[in-house]
Each structure stands twice: as structure tokens, then as C-alpha cells.
Structure 1
Amino acid sequence: MITLEELQRSPSAMHDLALHFDFDVSRAARDNAWVKLSPPQPFTVVAGDSSGGVFLAYGDGTIERRPILYASSEGQAGGLACSLAELLGLMTALPRWHDLLKFSGNGDLQEMRRTAGLIGQDGPGDEEQPAAARRLIEALVLPVVADPVKLLHDGVHASVCNVIGEDGLPYASLFGHFKSSDNPFWKRST
């Protein structure tokens, strides 16, 4: 199992994660006083992304064995993985997980599978991403995720913790209401 300290000691892995997967460990040090969890739990911000979202390890125990919650800067939150290693394995298998959730039809697994296929037809948005994924899997000894779509689906559905906004209301689900048929680019290709 990869530890946060091991990850931080690997500049090349941190570079690949930040540049190709928008998982930037250096963003964890930013002011995260706005994060309030329900039910209240201890948490550690392990990384941030370029849009202002954060990845949180919450609960008790070592950071590497805690579940990971993602909170976007747009007011959405949800669980992604059971551990840091599982999250990194998921991200390397599904680098466009944000798009997959956006076009999930409110978290319908079959719709997510259709969307994943259409995203796959788009090819990598980042030509270096497949090579970066291979480097990360090898360097960090990440778990192979047999069914990343189901893992993501189940992780978000199993969320037992949420982020509370400044208005006192819980963040919305990470599942978007759009379906793959709502994307005009995919409509032309189907």
C-alpha cells in the first residue's frame, strides 16, 4: 500500500499525478478551513485539483487506510475510494472520472458504462496520460482496478460522509443528471 510520505518522496510521481491526473499533493497545504463534514469526522486534505476541489482522507486510522472524499469548488461532494491506493488506481484507470460522473444519469451504472465507452472513443485528452498512468502503476505499485466504472459508481453511492456548505446545507452529489445522449458530440458519433 502506498503511503502519502512515499508519494511525497517521489517527485516524478507527484509531477505525473498533478500534470496528467489533476491530483496535486502540493495543493493540500492551502487554506481548507471551509471544509466541514457531516457527520463531524477528523480529516486530512491529501491533494487538491486545479479547479479548487480537494481530496480528503476522513475518519480514524492512518491516512492511507481512510476513505477518500472529493469536494468540488462547485458544491458537490462524495466518496471516491476506500483508500489512497485505491483512489490512485481508479484515477489511472479512469482519468476522466469527472466527465463520467457528470454524464452518469444520476448515478445509473448502465448509463455510466455507456458514457465510459463514449469517453473512450474520444481518445485521451492528454496524449501523455497513458504513459504517465503506466509509470505511476509501476512506480507506486498501484492496485489493478478490474472494473473502474463500478468502483466509482459504488464509491459515490456508498458515501457516508458529506461536506456542509457555508449556508449550512449539504453539498450535492457528485452524480450529474446528464446522460451520454445529452452530449451533442457523442450524439453525432452514435
Structure 2
Amino acid sequence: MESLIAAVREQDEAARFLVWPGDFDLDRGDHVEEVHLASGATLEGFAGDGAGGTYFFCGEGGEERPILYADSEGGAAPVAIGLPELLRLLLVVPWWRDCQAFTAEESRELAAEYLEDMPDLPARRDRAAAALGIDLPAQADVLARLREVAVRMGEDFVLVLTPEGHPYEPLFTN
């Protein structure tokens, strides 16, 4: 089976959607600071965002590994178990970082703001998902899963700023 990373690189329209509005770029995998997981598990940066945040695979294996997101302000949280789940999050709720309450209402308000600037967002999203062979779940399901992974698994994936030994703050608190 072809890797999803390779598929994203080959599918220009999907890659463009993931870069914006998804704010996910496979060419930005280097984190600006030296970090490690408190557990000692392997940490592999593989993508980033425009504000200096990084997506890391955690542990051993391939694209099925848990994914931790660390922003440039000292916050981090697990956001998905495996790349397919992360891509569903980025396709369905590209504004996920602003969904602090994980509610459909909050997401609808943010979606409305995005749709003002990008009225073709749903069509672009659907084409990107089809190109990658990804089924799109409902926003509420994606947000519930994000909450489950970020909040319930957060303590298992504590990111530490290596030179100072300080842990990053959780991105989500509820």
C-alpha cells in the first residue's frame, strides 16, 4: 500500500488544500527547538505549519503511529492516531486549533469565517479527500475524536524542551 505522505506529495490539489486552509506542509518538518518525549519514545517531525508548529510521529513504526502537534509557543498535544486520522481532521476541521471547547457550534462559527474568505472550501475539501481516498466523517465526530485523543492521551505524550527540561503546556485543557 502506498504511503499517504507519498499520495499527498503526488496529489497537487490535495497538497494545496492541506497547506491552506489545513496549514499542514510536508516541507516544514523541522521543529525550531530541541525536544523529546518524556517517555523516551521516538519523536519524528514530518510536517509543520506556517507559524512554526510541527507534527511529530511518536514511537516506532510508520504512518499508523500517534501524532503529536507542538506549536511555537510551548504548547503540545496528541491530535491523531495515525496519518489517516490526522488528514481527516485537517480536511474536515482545518480550524481545529481554535476549537478549544470541541463543540459543533464553535466549529460552525469558525467554518463560517473560513467560508466567507473561501466559498469553494467544501468543494476543494471534497476533491482533496477523493484524491487521497479518504472518507470524510461529520465535524462532530472529528471533534469528539480530537478531544478523546488530545485530552485523554495527553499525559502519555508529554513533550519536553530538551535544553531546559521544561514540559510543553497542553494545547487543550478540557
Do they fold alike, i.e. is TM over 0.5? yes
Q: How does 1:142-153 map to 2 (within 5 A)?
A: 142-146=134-138, 147-153=141-147
Scaled by the length of structure 2, the TM-score of the pair is 0.84
- Aligned equivalents of 1:155 and 1:125: distance in 2? 30
- Aligned equivalents of 1:86 and 1:123: distance in 2? 22
Change (3 A) 1:27 1:125: farther
Q: How does 1:23-172 map to 2 (within 5 A)?
A: 23-28=24-29, 30=30, 34-62=34-62, 64-101=63-100, 104=101, 112-122=103-113, 124=115, 126-127=117-118, 128-146=120-138, 147-157=141-151, 158-159=153-154, 160-165=156-161, 166-172=163-169
Scaled by the length of structure 1, the TM-score of the pair is 0.78
Q: Deviations over 1:71-98 (max 9, x none)?
A: 0001110011111011111111111101
Which protein is bigger by CA-based radius of gyration? Answer: 1
User: Structure 1, unaligned stretches of length 5 or more?
Assistant: 178-190
The answer on whether the counterparts of 1:90 and 1:145 sit within 8 Å (CA) in structure 2 is no
How far the C-alpha of 1:33 sits from its partner, in A, is 5.8
How far the C-alpha of 1:41 sits from its partner, in A, is 1.3
The answer on whether the counterparts of 1:65 and 1:83 sit within 8 Å (CA) in structure 2 is yes
Q: Deviations over 1:43-95 (max 9, x none)?
A: 22121000000011111111x11111100001110011111011111111111
The percentage of aligned residue pairs carrying the same residue is 30
User: Structure 2, unaligned stretches of length 5 or more?
Assistant: none
